[in-house]
């Protein structure tokens, strides 16, 4: 604390003198401790670069502090310094920082596991800062609160204040000033209670709009007059300011609304000398009793939202003098009655008439000139129980009470916001999951449609290729039929010559040969197409030779190739065979070739389409290339993505190369790579296992 309070003032002893003294005593441990404290001080005043420099010096000497509590301070504050600087450094430095954070946090975790009271809150505060710089906001929110709670539980006031300050900065970074206000107020009171005067002033200077300063005077404005009381002088020795400070800090230290109201009622009843009390807050435009306590009861009833005058609502008895409460709400003046049943303007109030109470005090809770609640207290054993000193104490606490209630309500809203946010994230995740499943189903359907379209192309190829031999066969058979009819007529007339017989035999022989040749050609084509179609539809695995099967695949594509005037170049060992899925390879080849016909060449431009393959160990390297216009660099990384196409308006589905990628990597258990240069062409390199079960 002393070092904190000296910051900003002129040092009487320079760092050089420190060094001389330390070296003269040969106390490296003391020198290291000096740098640890210096790093801590610079950090608390947000001079992070200087803090890191001091921490680096301490790190060089940290071995001298092993087993000393200052070594723990070093690791703790070094983590906080690194997280503070993280956003300002390069990516390479960030990687180094993160490795240091993980290593230091591992050490702090060991200490926390062995001494939770002293180190657990430090571990969770560093974890919160690491979550913040990683963008894990929901985790950070929870971790800050965990660190604050543990520090408070084990009376580490300075670290509770520090954790609250860091939480406030986190919320300021999210532009949530109302949430930041909650934590800054807690930090402000924590540093104040700890005695770090300079730090308190620093916070007030940096966040004047978010921190309410405490002063020696309290002013209460009413409709008719303004009364000012100088609390620091008037209370004199009769009021223990330490009690006020402890009560104020106890109130400011609680942020959960239900626990705050419970603690608040106990503090108010105990310090004001009351038998019972009520806290009245505005809810939904109406004023309601939100907390009730008494000296006879250990428990405080909270958050019940009871009406001020329950007679009209439910026929029950009133809990307090509602006329007094309504008067304070209207005038914002204090009401102090020494004998409520005998004096003042409220003797006719139904509650007072029925219960004949003695001492009553009702004071407004004001924050920034706005009425936020009422504190109503009674003592029915003693007249004049609520003295001037006790009223002054409550007036001193009233501002903090109002702030703490507002903060707790904001925090409650914050918790609800977090829960709603988590639910929203969960719902959104489920929606995205459902959308993804729908997209997958749609994609599967489109892929199947693409397969059917490919089979349709196969049928068209079959029809075109078989048309020629079948056409020739029909012509030959027709001519043979005419010759046979004519020959039969000559034979029946009995005028047949030897030459007629020889001519018919010659025609029949040639026709039958031609017919047989064309029918065999048609049968071979049908068998070839049938094999490709079976391979595609059944997706059965078998051993097949690359060259003959490639010829069968290309046969069906002849019509498309003839129309485009492209030439084919095929090079590879015709004996190479693989054990794989021929149907999948057929579809890969077809889609690659059609992709070139659609995308690689402008209309009227022709080029060479190249297929090549070779065996490399237990893999087949299969290449397909065109000499077309190539793929721009910005599109090269997207070509295997589903639905990506540059020919959307010209019938491109964007699924051709996506299907190729899936077939190669999943069905054929291989790899595919695309190389392309604009204006020079595109090459696809596919590497497949020679046997589907063998490793690549």
Whose CA is closest to 584, among 536, 549, 544, 655? 536
Other C-beta atoms closer than 10 Å to the C-beta of 96 total: 12
C-alpha to C-alpha distance for 107 and 460, rounded to whole angstroms: 72
Q: CA-CA-CA-CA torsion for 157, 162, 165, 171, nearest 10 degrees?
A: -110
Query: 445: Cβ–Cβ under 8 A, 6 or more apart, which residues?
Result: none
Contact present, 395 and 218 (Cβ < 8 Å): yes
Instruction: Return the axis-axis angle of helices 157-173 and 116-134, rounded to nearest 10°.
Output: 10
At residue 677, φ and ψ (nearest 5 deg) are: -135, 125
pLDDT of residue 148: 92
DSSP letter at 235? S
Structure tokens at 91: 């990516």
Q: Of the candidates 253, 249, 267, 150, which has an alpha carbon nearest to the alpha carbon of residue 195?
A: 249
Q: How many CB atoms lie within 10 A of CB 649?
A: 7
Sheet of strand 671-677, all strands in order from the earlier edge strand to the far edge? 567-571, 608-616, 619-626, 681-689, 671-677
> What DSSP element (H or E) covers 61?
helix 48-61
In angstroms, the CA 309 to CA 324 distance is 12
Q: Are 42 and 48 in contact, with CB atoms under 8 Å apart?
A: yes
Q: For the chain, which ranges sit under pLDDT 70?
A: 1-26, 67, 212-250, 253, 297-299, 310-316, 443-465, 524-525, 527-539, 642-643, 647-655, 694-696
Q: What tokens appear for 325 in the block?
A: 């409460």
The pLDDT, as a whole number, for residue 214 is 41
**What letter would DSSP give residue 665?**
I
Q: Where are the beta strands (DSSP E) in 23-94?
A: none
pLDDT for the residue 576: 95
The tokens for 10 are 């002129």
DSSP 116-180: HHHHHHHHHHHHHHHHHHHT-HHHHHHHHHHHHHHHHHTT-HHHHHHHHHHHHHHHHHTT-HHHH
pLDDT of residue 231: 32
| Structure-block tokens of residue 365 | 């809770």
From 544, 630, 644, select the one nearest 589 (Cα to Cα). 544
- Within 10 Å of residue 26's Cβ, how many Cβ atoms? 9
C-alpha dihedral (14, 18, 20, 22), degrees to nearest 10 = 180
DSSP state letter for 88: G
Per-residue pLDDT at 109: 93
Enter the pTM of the model: 0.41
DSSP 355-376: H---EEEEEEEEETTEEEEEEE
At 178-224, the pLDDT tens digits run: 778 888 888 888 888 888 888 998 999 998 887 754 433 333 333 33
Rounded CA separation 259/122 (Å) = 24
């Amino acid at each position: 604390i002393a070092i904190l309070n000296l910051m900003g003032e002129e040092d009487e002893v320079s760092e050089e003198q420190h060094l001389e003294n330390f070296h003269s005593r040969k106390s490296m441990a003391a020198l290291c401790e000096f740098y640890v404290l210096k790093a801590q001080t610079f950090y608390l005043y947000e001079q992070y670069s200087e803090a890191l420099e001091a921490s680096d010096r301490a790190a060089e000497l940290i071995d001298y502090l092993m087993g000393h509590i200052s070594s723990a301070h070093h690791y703790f504050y070094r983590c906080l310094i690194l997280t503070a600087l993280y956003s300002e450094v390069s990516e390479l430095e960030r990687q180094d920082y993160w490795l240091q954070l993980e290593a230091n946090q591992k050490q702090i975790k060991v200490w926390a596991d062995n001494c939770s009271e002293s180190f657990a809150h430090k571990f969770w505060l560093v974890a919160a800062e690491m979550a913040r710089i990683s963008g894990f906001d929901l985790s950070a929110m929870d971790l800050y609160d965990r660190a604050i709670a543990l520090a408070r539980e084990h009376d580490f006031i300075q670290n509770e204040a520090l954790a609250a300050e860091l939480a406030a900065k986190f919320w300021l970074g999210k532009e949530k000033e109302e949430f930041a206000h909650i934590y800054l107020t807690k930090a402000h009171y924590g540093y104040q209670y700890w005695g770090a005067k300079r730090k308190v002033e620093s916070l007030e200077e940096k966040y004047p709009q978010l921190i309410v300063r405490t002063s020696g005077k309290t002013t209460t404005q009413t409709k008719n007059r303004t009364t000012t009381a100088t609390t620091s002088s008037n209370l004199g020795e009769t009021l223990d300011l330490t009690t006020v400070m402890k009560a104020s800090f106890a109130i400011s230290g609680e942020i959960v609304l239900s626990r705050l109201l419970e603690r608040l009622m106990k503090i108010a009843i105990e310090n004001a000398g009351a038998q019972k009390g009520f806290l009245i807050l505005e809810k939904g435009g109406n004023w309601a009793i939100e907390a009730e306590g008494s000296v006879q009861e250990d428990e405080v009833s909270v958050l019940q939202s009871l009406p001020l005058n329950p007679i009209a609502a439910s026929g029950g008895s009133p809990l307090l003098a509602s006329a007094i409460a309504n008067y304070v709400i209207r005038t914002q003046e204090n009401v102090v009655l020494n004998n409520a049943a005998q004096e003042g303007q409220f003797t006719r109030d139904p509650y007072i008439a029925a219960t004949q109470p003695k001492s009553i005090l009702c004071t407004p809770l004001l924050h920034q000139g706005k009425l936020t609640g009422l504190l109503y207290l009674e003592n029915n054993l003693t007249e004049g129980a609520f003295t001037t000193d006790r009223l002054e104490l409550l007036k001193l606490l009233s501002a903090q009470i109002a702030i703490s209630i507002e903060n707790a309500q904001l925090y409650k809203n914050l918790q609800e916001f977090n829960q709603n946010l988590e639910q929203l994230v969960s719902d959104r995740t489920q929606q995205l999951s459902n959308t993804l499943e729908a997209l997958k189903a749609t994609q599967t359907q489109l892929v199947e449609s693409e397969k059917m379209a490919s089979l349709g192309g196969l049928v068209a190829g079959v029809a075109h290729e078989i048309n020629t031999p079948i056409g020739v066969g029909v012509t030959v058979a027709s001519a043979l039929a005419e010759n046979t009819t004519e020959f039969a007529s000559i034979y029946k007339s009995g005028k047949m010559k030897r030459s007629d017989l020889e001519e018919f035999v010659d025609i029949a022989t040639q026709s039958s040969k031609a017919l047989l040749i064309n029918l065999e050609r048609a049968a071979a084509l049908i068998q070839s197409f049938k094999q490709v179609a079976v391979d595609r539809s059944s997706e059965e695995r078998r051993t097949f030779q690359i060259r003959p099967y490639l010829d069968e695949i290309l046969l069906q594509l002849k019509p498309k190739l003839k129309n485009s005037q492209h030439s084919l170049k095929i090079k590879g060992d015709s004996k190479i065979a693989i054990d794989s899925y021929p149907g999948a390879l057929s579809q890969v080849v077809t889609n690659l070739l059609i992709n070139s016909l659609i995308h690689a060449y402008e209309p009227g431009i022709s080029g060479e389409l190249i297929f090549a393959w070779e065996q490399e160990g237990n893999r087949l390297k299969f290449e397909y290339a065109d000499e077309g216009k190539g793929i721009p660099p910005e599109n090269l990384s997207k070509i295997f993505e589903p639905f990506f196409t540059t020919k959307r308006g010209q019938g491109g589905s964007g699924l051709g190369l996506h299907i190729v990628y899936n077939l190669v990597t999943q069905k054929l258990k291989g790899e595919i790579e695309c190389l392309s240069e604009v204006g020079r062409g595109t090459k696809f390199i596919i590497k497949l296992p020679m046997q589907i079960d063998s490793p690549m």
